[in-house]
Chain A
């Protein structure tokens, strides 16, 4: 017993080192296992969120020009979609009854107050929280393509898990063939690229093809832009392709985003649970 105590005393700083590492790795593994990252305080809390917002209020002025440019091009795209700007061909007598249509997706404007792009678990923090009706598990779209999925929110801030996070996964479709796959962010990707897996190898995928969301889990509307195919690789001995895509959204310049609220989400989830 005495020898044991002497031993511990001699190597006390090493045992202290092990103790601290144990604490750190507890944080690390508890966050790997939980989907929401909630076990660890993150940048959506009030102090760090406040500091980031104060700083982005100042530095935001320097990016106004590129921000305006992005909004302008998005405006132009939206204008093209207005019915009045298209020539209707083959018009017949149709009646539009509003009770037939229910708007399924609501969009809430938000601003990005902090984001990272160079680590394996990147994060994005936006300045809307539960007070504005933002809850975990909502889609977030930028001006060019999807950004990610909200994962935890406080009263005024929300933490978003972007596509460029190693745990991110979302069902997508290859626009031309309507074939499904999953988008992932692997070790060989940087913040401009991602990888789509599970597209069968008899599908013809060409460079430049669009990859869009499938809308299968109700987080995003169908057909939101994800990225463009940059290269296709056949894996020998496997029936699936490995498709590299260039992300539509440039994660080095994101400022304005919209949070997607699915009005029918509760109904959809109730249906899913009743299946079990």
Chain B
């Protein structure tokens, strides 16, 4: 399949998965602390060779789309741009000695499993920390923000890994 068509389909499927399925998962009182965002997988799956500007633009595009669905003014877009900006640094940080296979997009099959878990975990943490801080917009309730960030990023990372196992074909 043409890679551009593939990425457009991933974009649509992840946005719909986020707003129609993941946002409706409710587990009683603790769901006020668990607000997972799985559409960040879109930015994590983009190829190694993409330029920084394009990466941030695509992150902004998917963020603003989710914002329109959830009626949040620019908050998801802002957190996604942070994620897009920090992704090259994150990949450099966790790069193994022999380097990544830059021809394959980052996924659970093209990277070592424990490295991929760290990659998804840190990315989800950065995204949620920025998102909840912007949402509350002050530092006085930081313990609530931190609790929400921890719970949401753990659940998001688990869901993303689950989606990877269900969708990516083994090669």
Contacts and interface: CB of A to CB of B under 8 A. Distances in A.
A121 B72 contact: yes
Interface in B38-52: 52
A16 B69 contact: no
B141 A25 contact: no
B94 interface: no
B81 to A, nearest CB: 4
A16 B60 CA distance: 11
A187 B136 contact: yes
A130 interface: no
B81 A187 contact: no
Contact of A48 (B60, B68, B85): B68
B70 A28 contact: no
A80 to B, nearest CB: 32
B134 interface: yes
Interface string B94-129: 000000000000000000000000000000000000
Interface string B63-105: 1000111111111011001100100000000000000000000
A43 B69 contact: yes
A155 to B, nearest CB: 17
Contacts of B134: 28
B29 A190 contact: yes
B160 interface: no
A245 B81 CA distance: 38
A154 B60 CA distance: 26
B56 A16 contact: yes
A87 interface: no
Contacts, number: 100
Contacts of A52: 19, 69
Interface in A201-221: none
Contacts of A118: 31-32, 35
Contacts of A17: 56, 81-82, 85
A5 interface: no
A55 B20 contact: yes
A12 B134 CA distance: 24
A26 interface: yes
Contact of B70 (A43, A45, A187): A43
Contacts of B57: 20
Given A42-B71, A43-B70, A48-B69, A120 B136 contact: yes
A45 B68 CA distance: 9
A215 B123 CA distance: 48
Contacts of B73: 27-28, 30-31, 37, 39-40
Interface residues of B, number: 35
A26 B74 contact: yes
A41 interface: yes
A252 interface: yes
A252 B26 contact: yes
B92 to A, nearest CB: 13
A103 to B, nearest CB: 33
A247 B72 CA distance: 23
A231 interface: no
Interface in B112-171: 134-136, 141, 144
Given A37-B73, A118-B32, A190-B32, A24 B78 contact: yes
Given A13-B56, A16-B52, A191-B32, A27 B70 contact: no
B20 A25 contact: no
Contacts of B16: 51
B123 to A, nearest CB: 16
20 contacts: A13-B56, A17-B85, A20-B60, A21-B78, A24-B74, A24-B77, A26-B74, A27-B74, A27-B77, A40-B74, A43-B68, A44-B71, A45-B68, A51-B20, A51-B69, A52-B69, A118-B35, A120-B135, A123-B70, A123-B71
Interface of A: 12-14, 16-17, 20-21, 23-28, 30-31, 37, 39-45, 48, 51-52, 55, 59, 116-121, 123, 125, 159, 187, 190-191, 252
**Closest 3 A-B residue pairs measured CB to CB?**
A27-B74, A24-B78, A31-B73
